[in-house]
Chains A and B, each alone.
Chain A
Amino acid sequence: GAVVSQHPSWVICKSGTSVKIECRSLDFQATTMFWYRQFPKQSLMLMATSNEGSKATYEQGVEKDKFLINHASLTLSTLTVTSAHPEDSSFYICSGRRDPDYEQYFGPGTRLTVT
């Protein structure tokens, strides 16, 4: 149990366009979902935390108007990268956590390439 999926697994888009990434908890209700970004050979950096029905909490330095996060249900969160630029190219990973557990269950990631 505790499976998280992401769609798409990879996407290529042109600079200036927007891209939406979906994160779904398949067999549990994710009270909290997290979005991370990982550049090649680097660590995971938390971008934002979202609770179902609430506005996301963004980490310092993450532009909330550029990275729009919606957590409309206990099984779905979306990350929209608006007006993407080549420097936004990265591996985006989501995770879900269910109350009262501590453990986060990670999705397989989405590789975004902006040309």
Chain B
Amino acid sequence: GQSLEQPSEVTAVEGAIVQINCTYQTSGFYGLSWYQQHDGGAPTFLSYNALDGLEETGRFSSFLSRSDSYGYLLLQELQMKDSASYFCAGATGFQKLVFGTGTRLLVSP
């Protein structure tokens, strides 16, 4: 089967840096995406790693290591508005996404 595991909750303070990990067990993921979802809202795309290594997009960076079946999302200079749920998602054949268990990030003042 395919599964992607994430910590259920992470807390941090404004201005800090936080890393959200994603470990997966699957065969045939083409890449790893990250999505942000505020309560009651739609998931919004943050980043995609097709290759091993680090991808940087503003305050957000994402990393993938296929050999370790592991990736992470790094959020820098945290803001209150970053409080949300974050999901990693594995891209499979036929462009399908398998979502991780999700991590709720709570940013405090």
Task: Tell me if A46 and B98 are in contact (CB < 8 A).
Answer: yes
Task: Tell me if A103 and B45 are in contact (CB < 8 A).
Answer: yes
| Of the residues B48, B94, B101, contact of A103 by C-beta under 8 Å | B48
Give the contact stretch, choosing among B36-44, B59-67, B69-77. Answer: B36-44
B106 interface hit (Cβ, 8 Å): no
Task: Tell me if A49 and B96 are in contact (CB < 8 A).
Answer: yes
Residue of chain B at shortest CB distance from A103: B45
Give the contact stretch, choosing among A37-45, A62-70, A71-79, A82-90. Answer: A37-45
Contact with B along A88-103 (1 / 0, CB 8 A): 0001010001000011
Task: Tell me if B97 and A104 are in contact (CB < 8 A).
Answer: yes
Residues of B within 8 A of A104 (CB): 45, 95, 97
Task: Tell me if B94 and A43 are in contact (CB < 8 A).
Answer: no
**Chain A residues with a Cβ closer than 8 Å to the other chain, count:** 24
Residue of chain A at shortest CB distance from B50: A102
Chain B interface residue bracket vs A: 20 to 34
Contact with A along B23-40 (1 / 0, CB 8 A): 000000001000000001
Task: Tell me if B102 and A42 are in contact (CB < 8 A).
Answer: yes
Residues of A within 8 A of B45 (CB): 103-105
**Cα distance A103–B31 in the bound complex, in angstroms:** 11
Residues of A within 8 A of B98 (CB): 46
**Cα distance A45–B42 in the bound complex, in angstroms:** 14
Within 8 A of A (CB), among B47-105: 48, 87, 91, 94-102, 104
Residue of chain A at shortest CB distance from B101: A43
**Cα distance A109–B37 in the bound complex, in angstroms:** 11
A109 and B42 contact, Cβ closer than 8 Å, known pairs A44-B87, A49-B94: yes
Listed A/B pairs (25) with beta-carbon separation below 8 Å: A4-B42, A34-B97, A36-B99, A41-B104, A43-B87, A43-B100, A43-B102, A44-B43, A44-B87, A44-B99, A45-B99, A46-B96, A46-B99, A49-B96, A91-B40, A93-B42, A102-B91, A103-B48, A105-B45, A106-B42, A106-B44, A108-B41, A109-B41, A109-B42, A111-B40
Give 7 nearest A-B pairs by CB, closest first.
Answer: A106-B42, A44-B99, A43-B99, A108-B42, A43-B102, A106-B43, A43-B101
